Structure formats: structure tokens, C-alpha cells
């Protein structure tokens, strides 16, 4: 009897220790500068959690001095490795593939779009198949084609949005569909003097894209899985100098953030759109002094709230990061948080994701100091946006 009680106590003690460790894990927060001064880097485009050997890494694409790079950190935000996967190129998007241990990086070099397979050891293999169709009979000589964002469909095929630049003209919005090996299935061009930067599969027959026209106005596209055009909407009086992004609410509505001039001040405005019709359901100005060139990002939580992040002008102080939580569809504010970056550094936010293992958030940004040096910053918050 005594042995049974002792064994029971040991089991309960072990369970309590495991629970304490889980609780500690859920409380992991940080505000990290990745202490590598890169000259003129292209910022992180996408950020995600990927699990390898039961350890979590954050990965994001960047370009440093012309190199196509991927960074990884441990779960505490400390830099673990930097992979240089091509000697020339700009990484715009990186996704985990359905086959574990591999990632796919999309981007471009001086003329051509790029797709690169990357394994967990940083070993890269460039897809050498032709990645864009012959449009010269339709639009004249092509100067370059760029890939900006990529998603994998349930059938393992790939959709990529981007732009096509004429030699003697402007850009065309471009959507490409590739098989799992990277072979081009079809390619569609849409609006002239515009480019698409963010891509999302709404359902098996609906693709959403967000982009910019030449004057900076933000646009939304809805096309079917064969590239057939459904609708296009321009956000009213909303502009951006950064690539816009799309997120979805739990009810299936589109959330997107842009910049609007409000009383002589550039503020973030968050829009809610009906995905079927493209109608604006609601919009809300965010009253803090965001600056247009600082970038903004919106993501949707699992409980259908919206997290909008951006760079805030600190006036005479160092610029800061900020995050706001809203509840759709009323867009009522639940909390707002500000995070200090490096002293006297220009701050820009480029990604925000909810962490799969808990309810916190990862914010990715880049900071440029007065002497021209730059570094990446990762901020991990709890579910209320707080950092210890």
C-alpha cells in the first residue's frame, strides 16, 4: 500500500513538473535584435514556425549584399544559422511544404523569377524549369518577371503571384500555377501598371491577391483556381508604399490594412471585405501616428480577432513597434501595445503571425540606424501582446 501511494505521488509530481514546464513554455516572450549588421538588407517577407526534431525555428527570407538568404532562430529568438542559398537574388516568400523537412523559397534576380528548394541543413536546389510564359507577342519585350508570394494547394501544386515588367512600359499583375515539381502549368496577367504582392487560397476554387497600382493605391483581386477573373476592388482612399497583405476572419471575411491620410496625418486603416462580392463591410482608422513608409501588417487570430502591427513615429525618441488587437466585425479595440526597438533606429514591421504552440504572436521587423547599419528584430508576445 505504501509503495502504491509513493508511486502515485511520484507520478503526480512528474505530471506537475511537466505542467510547470508547459506553463513556462507558454510564457516565453522576447524582444530580440538579431545582432548582425547587414548593409542594405531586403527585409523579412514572411515568417512562420516550423518544427524539426521537436525543436521550433523561425525562418524568413532576406537578401544581403545580393545574396538570397534564409535566417533561423531557436524558440527564444536567438539566431542559430544564416543560409546563403544563392549568390544573387531576393527572397520574397518562404513556405513549409507538405513534405516535412523541406521549404520552398520564392523570389527573383535581375531578370528571372526564382524558386528554390531548401532543406533543414540549408542545402538549396534551384528549380531550373521555365517559370514564365512567352508574353512577348502580347505585351512586347519582357524586361523581367518577379515572384512575390507563394502558397501550396491541397493537391501539392503551387500558386505564385507577382509582376511582369515590359521593357518599354509598366508592370502587369501576374498569377502562376505550377505543378509540385515547379513546372509551369499556366500563367495569367491581369491589370496593367500594377503588381500583386500577397496571395491566399480562400477555398479550393478561390484565390485572393492583394497588390498595388502605380500610384500606391491598394487593390484586391478574386480569381478562380483556373485564373479566371471574378472581381477587383480598390481600397477607397487607401495607399501604401509597402506590400499589402490579406488575412481572413473566422467568418471568412477578408481583412486588410493600408494607410490613409487623416487630418494631415498618415494613419493605418483596417478594412473588412466580403469575399464573395468584394463589398466593404466595415473600416476603422487607427488613431496612432503610423507613418506610410514604415509598413503595416494584419493577421487574424484563431478566435477571429485582428492584430494590426506597424512602425510608430516616436518623435524625438527612438521609433517603436506597435500592435493593436481588434474584434471583428465591429473593430472595437481590445488592447494596444508598444515595443521599443534599438535606440534612434528607423523601425519597420514586415510580418506578424500567431504562434501555433500557444496563443502568443511573433512580430518580425527590420531596423536601420543613423550610420546605415541594419538588423532584424523578432518580438514574441503573449496572447495579450505583452513582453516580459
Give 65: exposed, middle or buried? Use CB within 10 Å, 0-12, 13-18, 19+: exposed
In angstroms, the first-to-last Cα distance of the chain is 46
Locate the DSSP E strands across 48-101.
Answer: 48-52, 55-64, 67-73, 79-86, 90-96
Span 215-224, mean pLDDT?
Answer: 93
For 15, the enclosing helix (H) or strand (E) is helix 2-26
How do residues 314-362 score in pLDDT, each as one tens digit? 555 557 888 888 876 667 788 888 888 877 777 777 788 888 777 888 8
Q: Which CATH superfamily is domain 245-388 in?
A: YVTN repeat-like/Quinoprotein amine dehydrogenase (2.130.10.10)
Spatial distance between the Cα atoms of 187 and 175, rounded to a whole number of angstroms: 6
Cis amide bond preceding 329, omega within 30: yes
How do residues 243-302 score in pLDDT, each as one tens digit? 788 888 878 889 888 777 666 666 777 888 999 999 998 887 775 555 444 556 888 887
Whole-number pLDDT of residue 193? 93
Spatial distance between the Cα atoms of 245 and 267, rounded to a whole number of angstroms: 17
Whole-number pLDDT of residue 311? 73
The residue ranking higher by pLDDT, 369 or 153, is 153
Whole-number pLDDT of residue 207? 97
The structural domains of the chain, with segments of one domain joined by +, span 245-388
Whole-number pLDDT of residue 55? 66
Using an 8 Å Cβ cutoff, are 363 and 387 in contact?
no
Q: DSSP for 43-62, please give it.
A: PP---EEEEETTEEEEEEEE
- Which cell numbers hold the place of 39? 548593409
The residue ranking higher by pLDDT, 47 or 143, is 143
How do residues 31-49 score in pLDDT, each as one tens digit? 988 876 666 666 677 777 7
What is the spatial order of strands in the sheet that 142-152 belongs to?
Answer: 142-152, 158-166, 171-178, 184-192
Using an 8 Å Cβ cutoff, are 155 and 185 in contact?
no
Whole-number pLDDT of residue 89? 80
Spatial distance between the Cα atoms of 98 and 348, rounded to a whole number of angstroms: 31
Whole-number pLDDT of residue 329? 63
Average pLDDT, the chain: 79
Provide the 3-class DSSP secondary structure of residue 23. helix
Whole-number pLDDT of residue 264? 65
Q: Report CA-CA distances (Å) from 69 to 33, 103, 116, 117.
A: 17, 13, 11, 13
Lowest mean pLDDT across 2-16, 52-66, 95-109:
2-16
How do residues 172-191 score in pLDDT, each as one tens digit? 999 999 998 889 999 999 99
Say which DSSP state 101 is in: T
Amino acid at each position: 500500500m505504501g509503495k502504491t501511494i509513493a508511486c502515485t505521488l511520484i507520478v503526480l509530481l512528474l505530471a506537475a513538473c511537466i505542467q510547470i514546464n508547459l506553463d513556462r513554455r507558454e510564457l516565453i516572450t522576447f524582444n530580440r535584435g538579431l545582432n548582425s549588421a547587414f548593409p542594405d538588407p531586403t527585409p523579412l517577407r514572411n515568417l512562420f514556425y516550423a518544427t524539426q526534431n521537436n525543436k521550433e525555428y523561425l525562418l524568413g527570407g532576406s537578401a544581403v549584399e545580393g545574396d538570397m538568404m534564409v535566417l533561423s532562430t531557436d524558440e527564444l529568438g536567438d539566431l542559430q544559422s544564416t543560409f546563403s542559398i544563392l549568390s544573387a537574388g531576393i527572397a520574397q516568400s518562404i513556405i513549409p511544404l507538405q513534405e516535412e523537412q523541406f521549404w520552398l523559397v520564392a523570389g527573383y534576380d535581375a531578370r528571372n523569377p526564382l524558386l528554390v528548394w531548401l532543406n533543414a541543413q540549408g542545402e538549396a536546389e534551384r528549380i531550373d524549369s521555365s517559370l514564365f510564359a512567352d508574353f512577348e507577342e502580347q505585351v512586347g519585350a519582357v524586361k523581367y518577371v518577379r515572384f512575390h508570394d507563394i502558397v501550396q494547394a491541397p493537391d501539392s501544386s503551387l500558386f505564385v503571384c507577382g509582376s511582369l515588367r515590359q521593357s518599354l512600359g509598366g508592370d502587369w499583375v501576374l498569377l502562376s500555377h505550377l505543378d509540385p515539381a515547379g513546372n509551369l502549368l499556366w500563367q495569367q496577367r491581369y491589370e496593367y501598371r500594377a503588381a500583386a504582392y500577397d496571395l491566399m487560397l480562400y477555398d479550393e476554387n478561390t484565390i485572393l491577391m492583394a497588390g498595388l497600382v502605380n500610384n500606391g493605391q491598394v487593390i484586391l483581386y478574386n480569381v478562380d483556381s483556373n485564373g479566371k477573373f471574378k472581381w477587383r476592388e480598390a481600397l477607397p482612399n487607401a495607399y501604401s508604399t509597402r506590400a499589402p497583405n490579406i488575412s481572413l476572419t473566422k467568418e471568412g471575411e477578408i481583412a486588410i490594412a493600408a494607410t490613409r491620410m487623416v487630418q494631415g496625418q498618415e494613419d493605418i486603416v483596417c478594412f473588412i471585405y466580403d469575399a464573395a462580392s468584394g463589398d466593404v463591410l466595415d473600416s476603422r482608422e487607427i488613431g496612432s501616428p503610423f507613418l506610410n513608409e514604415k509598413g503595416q501588417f494584419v493577421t487574424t487570430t484563431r478566435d477571429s480577432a485582428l492584430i494590426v502591427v506597424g512602425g510608430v513615429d516616436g518623435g524625438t525618441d527612438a521609433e517603436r513597434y506597435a500592435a493593436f488587437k481588434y474584434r471583428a466585425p465591429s473593430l472595437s479595440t481590445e488592447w494596444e501595445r508598444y515595443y521599443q526597438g534599438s535606440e534612434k533606429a528607423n523601425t519597420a514591421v514586415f510580418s506578424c503571425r500567431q504562434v501555433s504552440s500557444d496563443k502568443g504572436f511573433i512580430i518580425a521587423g527590420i531596423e536601420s540606424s543613423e550610420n546605415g547599419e541594419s538588423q532584424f528584430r523578432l518580438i514574441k508576445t503573449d496572447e495579450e501582446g505583452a513582453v516580459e
